[in-house]
Chain A
Amino acid sequence: MKIGKEFNIFLFSIKLLLKRKSSYYIFLILMVLVFFIASASFITASIKKELILTHEELPDIVIQRVIGGRQQYIPMDYIDKIVSIPGIKSILPRVWGYYYFDYSGVNFSIVGIDPLEPFYKKSLEENIKHIKTDDLIKRDDWMILGNGVRRLFSEIGYVDYAYFKKPNGEYIKLRRFDYLTQESAIFTNDIILISQNTARKLLGMDDDYVSDIVVNVYNKNEVVTIAAKIRDILKDARTVTKKDVLNSYQNVFNYKLGFFITLFGVLIFTMMVIVIDKLGGLSETEKLEIGVLKATGWTTSDVLRLKFYESSFLVLQAFIIGVLLAVIYVYILKAPIMMNIFSGYASLKTEYQLIFAVDFKTLFLIFIAIVPFYIAAIIIPTYRIATLDTYEVFK
């Protein structure tokens, strides 16, 4: 095989391809299909990665106080009542809630943290480089912003300071201390970390109250028993285990899976239509092309290689561009419209930062469902025509 000749066959195949109108329709159909499925796969993969990242951080049990179906603040002395339950590793009271920022019409999560508490200290140091937690102890008017909050604030000129309204209508001014890093964005994007004192003020909470209590246990098998004991002691308490939370995510995933299967169905169907159409015979133009090539001395193998280059060029191009568009759509444009279908589980959140995660298995599946089938759908009828008496092709 001569390289020069092979390259010229390739160039000529592209020429033929580009001058045939139907190429563009097929290209467009394939590309759009790849785009949709790849986008769906990217979003799923990204949320999955998000969950895996945050899975570790989820506490074993969260204790909430619910009266009349409404969540209430919990008195601190609840902690004393449960410390003696055997098997509990740690108990952490949390002060947090949603703060409605009327200027932008969105909810932020404000989380009050105690920099002296080892748990908070450790997680601050993990999430923010070079942070000096000691500086946080000296004062109360600091805030640490999640990325989404930071962006929203800077849009309205809140760079170094921000004003927050207390339930009684008074404002307090907080100084920006730092930012949270990008990773694991869904859970940090809309967050504002402040001191517990400030948080209580903004949430209208008395000093000896907290929002909920987080419990971690030594033995994961005992979670259910310990949760039951807690409910037994604290009559108005509700417990939410890690498993409960993951289950609710699972539901969202099942929903997504259905969406996915539907998309894949559309893909397979379209491919079948194209394949059947092509197997039914190539277009008159394509037949004549093959006849001319044969008549001027091309062997069947030359013609098959030309059609192979032609069809793989088209289908690979459609695949690659479809995937690239999906990358742009999901990770740069943040998947408008499609994200609404997928998000469901966190409508409170201001904005997503989809983490870059590629599901190679699904990409490979799309590749398999499209590329070899399309090439075969071209090569098989080409072979049938190329092996005919050349003279017959023109009749």
Chain B
Amino acid sequence: MIEIRHLTKIYDDKIVLQNINLDINNGDFVVIMGPSGSGKSTFLSIISGLSRPTEGSVCYDDINISKLPESDVGKFRNSKIGFVFQKFNLMENLTVYENILPPVIIAEKKITKKDIFELLKRFEIDNLSDVKVKRLSGGEQQRVALARALVNDPELLIADEPTANLDYRLKNEVIDTFKKIHYQGKTIIVATHDRVFTEIEGARIINMINGKIAEMV
């Protein structure tokens, strides 16, 4: 259960997010839609603890991550949240396998090489494990980014424009993947321009305009 209260983000004197209140339940599939510049990425970065709000709070059950010391936010994110960036943010010179390692190295629980390969297999990139990421196609890179986000088996997956760089066929693949992950009981929050996400069964559609939200019912 995530409780977002009075969330506000101000850059210099520009108000990017304005008094957002939202509850997200375990197992929700939240789709945030909205025009470019409306604040979707900023919102995701704050609820994942990648940046701090100017005002307001984000609470996971009883933990207010907006107030947590930096090192604890890291630990929390490492075990509880998987994040997929709009631009993937992969280490281009490293191989697929090496790109999965950062969350694993500092994880509290033990994740074996076998676990990683099973995950790669699930995304059909196990045969690419030794290939440098910069040699991969956009769709393959997207799957590496997803695998990295999911390797520690987090309860929450947050994805920023996960289909933006993909063609029609890959787009459907990624959406299927999200559906599967959701089906396994994980909570998902996606920011997207892509209407296809609104058609997912059981998805909560939230519109964001100028830093304010309105939920479609």
Interface residues in chain A, defined as those with a beta carbon under 8 Å from any beta carbon in chain B: 5, 8-9, 12, 15-16, 19-20, 285, 288-289, 291-302, 387, 389-392, 394
Contacts and interface: CB of A to CB of B under 8 A. Distances in A.
A389 B98 contact: no
B216 interface: no
B100 to A, nearest CB: 10
A298 B102 contact: yes
B26 interface: no
B93 interface: yes
Given A19-B93, A292-B89, A394-B87, A297 B50 contact: no
A90 B117 CA distance: 88
A285 B93 contact: yes
Contacts of B102: 12, 292-293, 296, 298
Interface in B106-133: 106-107
Max chain A C-beta neighbours (<10 A), residue from B52, B70, B93, B105 = B105
Nearest to B85: A394
Contacts of B187: none
Interface of B: 41-42, 45, 50-52, 70-71, 74-79, 83, 85, 87, 89-94, 98, 101-103, 105-107, 148
B203 to A, nearest CB: 25
Q: Which interface residue of B42, B50, B85 has the most chain A CB atoms within 10 A? A: B50
B91 A5 contact: no
A392 B52 CA distance: 11
16 contacts: A5-B105, A9-B105, A9-B106, A12-B101, A12-B105, A285-B93, A292-B90, A292-B102, A294-B74, A295-B50, A297-B76, A298-B74, A298-B78, A302-B74, A389-B45, A390-B50
A301 B103 contact: no
B159 to A, nearest CB: 13
Given A16-B91, A288-B91, A292-B102, A300 B70 contact: yes
Given A15-B98, A292-B89, A294-B74, A391 B105 contact: no
